[in-house]
């Protein structure tokens, strides 16, 4: 079986409350993470909610990185989704944990777009 992409889901708890509400800092963190994994940044979009919280995405040629923060809970949810073999999404984990100050991080990896290696016997009629 071959996967089209790798999707890391980061649960960052007990983060630095102030950085989770700093849009420029959070944007820089995701851009730095994209650089760490060897991705090519295409664009980004970020939004700061009132009274607090940020949502943002960095679009990369290889897919995307996104974040949603809840400063009032010291929590950030981060997705690093990559396609192909040219990038290493796991290299984003440590820098994001450190920069967001998470004292209770965890992550899981999902394989996305799992396709059979051969379609023998699956001919269209």
pTM of the model: 0.88
What does the domain layout of the chain look like in residue ranges? 2-112
Region 2-112: CATH code: 3.60.90.10
pLDDT in tens, 76-88: 999 999 998 899 9
Q: Confidence band (pLDDT; 50, 70, 90) for 120?
A: very low
Does position 97 have pLDDT exceeding 70, yes or no? yes
Q: Identify whether the C-beta of residue 60 lies closer than 8 Å to the C-beta of residue 42.
A: yes
Q: What is the DSSP string of 71-102?
A: GGGTEEEEEEEEESSS--GGGGHHHHHHHHT-
Task: Give me the active site residues, please.
Answer: 63, 68, 83
Cis peptide bond prior to 51, omega within 30° of 0: yes
């Amino acid at each position: 079986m071959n996967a089209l992409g790798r999707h890391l889901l980061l649960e960052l708890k007990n983060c630095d409350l102030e950085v989770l509400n700093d849009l420029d800092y959070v944007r820089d963190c995701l851009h730095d993470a994209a650089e760490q994994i060897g991705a090519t940044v295409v664009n980004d979009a970020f939004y700061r909610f009132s009274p607090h919280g940020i949502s943002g995405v960095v679009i990369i040629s290889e897919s995307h990185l996104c974040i949603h923060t809840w400063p009032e809970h010291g929590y950030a949810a981060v997705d690093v989704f990559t396609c192909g073999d040219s990038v290493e999404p796991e290299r984003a984990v440590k820098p994001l944990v450190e920069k967001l100050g998470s004292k209770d991080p965890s992550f899981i990896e999902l394989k996305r777009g799992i396709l059979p290696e051969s379609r023998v016997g699956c001919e269209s009629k």
